[in-house]
């Protein structure tokens, strides 16, 4: 289980190596706190769906697996959406449609249909935690780059006298607006992936890399 946890962090990091679950990365990485909330939500949904799918694997015939998987993920995503609407209205407004869209997140589908198929529930839980944490960390990295360059701020949770926003001197007056636009998201992700690949030799899991 520990091993299943560790491989999600580095060797098979869902975002850096395999580029799974792009949808939330592209959409909510303009502010650090949004990215953190999104990553955490995804982690929770992934853990529940993965464990449930692995526990139910003998009961669900192969051709209904996708249906059952999306139904479980869908109910978790709806529940998460309702909880956010009730207790974190601002966050819920900003994340908007992307919380219900976690239902068909490719990371969740990949783990729950691929890994959980032939593993014990414990292993699947560990795998989900590892993958989710790896995803969360990568998402935080992208969001940090985008927020610093794109708006010149770092948004955290407001505590006490601290307003929750750190302004980066210089950049907050004249930020590179392009980075905070939708076009900038693709650009930042592309460059981040290139830098990541340069830092470490591409793993075998990435088919795209071998072909190119």
Rounded CA-CA distance 134/4 in Å is: 12
d(CA 49, CA 51): 6
Element (H, E) at 41: helix 32-56
Widest Cα–Cα separation across the chain: 59
Q: Cβ neighbours of residue 32 under 8 Å, at least 6 residues apart?
A: 140, 143, 144, 147, 154, 155, 156
Give the nearest distance from C-beta 70 to another protein in angstroms: 5
Rounded least distance, CB 180 to another protein, Å: 12
Coil, helix or strand for 162?
strand
Shortest Å distance, C-beta 105 to another protein: 8
Contacting positions for another protein (CB under 8 A): 19-23, 26-27, 56, 59-61, 64, 66-68, 70-72, 74-79, 81-83, 85-87, 89, 97, 100-101, 103-106, 109, 178, 181-187, 189-191, 193-195, 197-198, 206, 208-209, 211-212
Q: Which one, 158 or 190, has the nearer CB to another protein?
A: 190
Smallest gap from Cβ 67 to another protein, in A, equals 5
Nearer of residues 17 and 126 to another protein, judged by Cβ: 17
Instruction: Give 10 or 166: the residue with its C-beta nearer to another protein.
Output: 10
CA distances for 148 relative to 30, 39, 140, 155, angstroms: 9, 19, 12, 10
Choose between 26 and 168: whose C-beta lies nearer to another protein: 26
């Amino acid at each position: 289980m520990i091993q299943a946890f560790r491989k999600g962090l580095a060797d098979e990091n869902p975002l850096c190596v395999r580029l799974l679950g792009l949808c939330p990365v592209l959409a909510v990485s303009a502010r650090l706190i949004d990215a953190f909330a999104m990553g955490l939500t995804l982690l929770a949904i992934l853990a529940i769906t993965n464990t449930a799918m692995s526990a139910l694997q003998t009961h669900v015939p192969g051709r209904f697996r996708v249906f059952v998987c999306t139904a479980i993920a869908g109910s978790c995503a709806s529940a998460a959406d309702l909880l956010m609407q009730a207790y974190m209205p601002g966050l819920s407004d900003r994340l908007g449609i992307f919380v219900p869209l976690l239902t068909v997140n490719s990371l969740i589908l990949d783990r729950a249909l691929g890994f959980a198929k032939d593993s014990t529930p414990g292993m699947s839980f560990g795998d989900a935690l590892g993958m989710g944490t790896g995803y969360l960390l990568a998402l935080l990295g992208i969001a940090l780059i985008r927020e610093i360059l794109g708006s010149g701020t770092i948004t955290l949770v407001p505590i006490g006298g601290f307003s929750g926003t750190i302004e980066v001197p210089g950049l907050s007056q004249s930020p590179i607006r392009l980075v905070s636009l939708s076009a900038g998201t693709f650009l930042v992700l592309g460059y981040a992936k290139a830098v990541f690949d340069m830092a470490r030799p591409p793993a075998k899991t990435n088919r795209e890399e071998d072909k190119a």
